[in-house]
Amino acid sequence: MFTFLIFEILSAVVGIIALGVLIVQIVRHSTAGAALKKRGIYIPAIVLVIAFFSGLIANKTYPPNFAMPAFMHSHAPGSVPASIPFGKIIEFFKYKNRFEKITDIGANPNLVPENSQTPDTDGRVRISLTAQEVIGEIAPGIYFNYWTYNNQVPGPMLRVREGDTIELTLTNHPSSLHPHNIDLHAVTGPGGGAVLTNVKPGETKTFKWKALNPGLYVYHCATPNVSTHNSHGQYGLILVEPREGLIKVDKEFYVMQGELYTMGQLGKKGLVPFDSEALLEGTPNYVTFNGKVEQVPRMHAEVGDTVRIYVGNGGVNLISSFHVIGEIFDTVYPNANIGGALEHNTQATAVLPGGAGIVEFKLDVPGKYLLVDHALARMNKGAWAVLEVTGDENPDIFSPVGKE
Ligand SMILES: [Cu+2]
């Protein structure tokens, strides 16, 4: 495990000896020119260069089989830790007051764009997002330093159309402590746009891409350490509507599951620090629907409505068994793929971390319907949201016996 240390020490010892010999060789000659004429001087010089580079290589701690492609080495174990650098933590507390305090960090599930965004006169769809680090409330009295797109978790739901050319502009708010970027799973191209949108605090970058494949896709920050950025809240959904559009329904909702890794016990009040060990273990204190533990129902519909839920999973570790208590999905677009085989009469659908699903169902009976991850211990961690349905009772379908 520590064999790299032997190489490092060996390189350092050999390097120091070579450097010493080199200095002695130079000192022994009256001028540098005279020293360079001596063949003996090149041997310690070459040994020094070899020792220097072998020391650098030895510093890579992962075995070759485990190594990622060279251009992704920054993601490999050990090179970018999941933890936040200590200096940044100090900086955070030093400048704590400059971070915007967001009253309601949880994205409004009703804010689904009704139609795909209209292109500008030049035919391009222009979307702007701002990466901003803020302070928000996970649950009453529990505050967390969220990293967001547009000050909400998840970021805004985007809706474009298959074949659109999109110009996406990402700004990193000047108050941020970290660089950010955006990787949209709807993009065809390296990094899903991440490589073209690396923005330091205060910077803005734009890239363009063509939406080739219809579907519902996750977007997220892909700045190393990626899972650290995602588990601070940097994710959202983009719908690439098929050319012919989707069938109209009465109500559409936007819900994303996510995980928050915080130090201390579940329910600990105050400003709770990020826990990188829990992130690596995959043991979040909070599992949320739309960034926080819901306080009041936010989704409403009427008996008779057909609803569609665009559901995503920002992850980063847990697969969601998405279920609505008291309802059966009439239609599921598994993995949110549009154009593939649909499922009917389904109780739960798997929503993978970094994946999505689309479910549709008709409401027949009034009442409160809980959206959950049916790995139900996660309900205790906050993984639920309420759909409130009003309208006339429907005793033919549901009623206590004797009152029908
Ligand atoms: Cu980020």
Query: pLDDT tens digits for 192-211?
Result: 999 999 999 999 999 999 99
Query: Is the pLDDT at 381 greater than 90, yes or no?
Result: yes
Q: Which of 351, 304, 316, 314 is nearest to 332 (CA)?
A: 351
Rg (CA), the chain: 27
Predicted structure pTM score:
0.81
114 Cα–ligand 1 center, Å: 28
Q: Which of 299, 301, 313 is nearest to 378 (CA)?
A: 313
196 Cα–ligand 1 center, Å: 14
**Predicted pLDDT of residue 250:** 98
Please indicate whether residue 301 or residue 49 has the higher confidence score (pLDDT): 301
**Predicted pLDDT of residue 90:** 81
317 Cα–ligand 1 center, Å: 17
Query: Is the pLDDT at 134 greater than 60, yes or no?
Result: yes
CB neighbour list of residue 363: distance below 8 Å, 6 or more residues apart: 301, 302, 303, 304, 305, 306, 307, 327, 389, 391
Task: Please report the beta strands in 140-234, taking only residues with DSSP state E, as ranges in sequence order.
Answer: 142-149, 158-161, 165-172, 183-184, 204-210, 215-220
Tokens of 267: 């329910």
Q: What is the DSSP string of 139-167?
A: ETTEEEEEEEETTBBSPPPEEEETT-EEE
User: Contact, 146 vs 233, CB < 8 A?
Assistant: yes
199 Cα–ligand 1 center, Å: 9
**Predicted pLDDT of residue 29:** 76
7 Cα–ligand 1 center, Å: 35
d(CA 92, CA 233): 17
**Predicted pLDDT of residue 62:** 44
- Quick check: helix, strand or coil at residue 46? helix
* Order of all β-strands in the sheet with 235-241: 158-161, 235-241, 215-220, 183-184
**Predicted pLDDT of residue 72:** 55
Query: Is the pLDDT at 38 greater than 70, yes or no?
Result: yes
Task: Please report the beta strands in 303-383, taking only residues with DSSP state E, as ranges in sequence order.
Answer: 306-313, 320-325, 329-333, 343-346, 348-351, 356-362, 367-373
- Section 39-51 average pLDDT: 84
Share above pLDDT 90 across residues of the chain, in percent, rounded to a whole number: 72
d(CA 228, CA 82): 6
What element of type H or E holds 389? strand 384-390
Which of 20-29, 87-96, 176-185, 231-240 shows the lowest mean pLDDT across its residues?
87-96
Q: Which of 311, 288, 164 is nearest to 233 (CA)?
A: 288
Structure confidence by residue, pLDDT tens digits, 304-332: 999 999 999 999 999 999 999 999 999 99
**Predicted pLDDT of residue 1:** 37
User: Contact, 122 vs 167, CB < 8 A?
Assistant: no
CB neighbour list of residue 11: distance below 8 Å, 6 or more residues apart: 51, 52, 54, 55, 58
132 Cα–ligand 1 center, Å: 9
Percentage helix, strand, coil, to 5, in the chain? 25, 35, 40
Structure confidence by residue, pLDDT tens digits, 209-218: 999 999 999 9
148 Cα–ligand 1 center, Å: 8
Query: Is the pLDDT at 67 greater than 50, yes or no?
Result: no
Give per-residue burial for 125-148: e unless 16+ CB within 10 Å, then b. bebebbbbbbbbbbbeebbbbbbb
Query: Is the pLDDT at 4 greater than 70, yes or no?
Result: no
**Predicted pLDDT of residue 24:** 85
Please report, for the chain, how many H helices and E strands are present, in that order. Answer: 6, 20
135 Cα–ligand 1 center, Å: 15
386 Cα–ligand 1 center, Å: 29
d(CA 256, CA 267): 21
**Predicted pLDDT of residue 75:** 53
User: Contact, 136 vs 105, CB < 8 A?
Assistant: yes
181 Cα–ligand 1 center, Å: 6
Share above pLDDT 70 across residues of the chain, in percent, rounded to a whole number: 91
Query: Is the pLDDT at 290 greater than 70, yes or no?
Result: yes
- Section 88-116 average pLDDT: 89
Query: Is the pLDDT at 61 greater than 50, yes or no?
Result: no
Mean pLDDT of the chain: 90
- Quick check: helix, strand or coil at residue 341? coil
On the question of a cis peptide bond just before residue 317, with omega within 30 degrees of 0, the verdict is no
User: Contact, 383 vs 266, CB < 8 A?
Assistant: no
74 Cα–ligand 1 center, Å: 15
Neighbour tally for 395: CB within 10 Å: 11
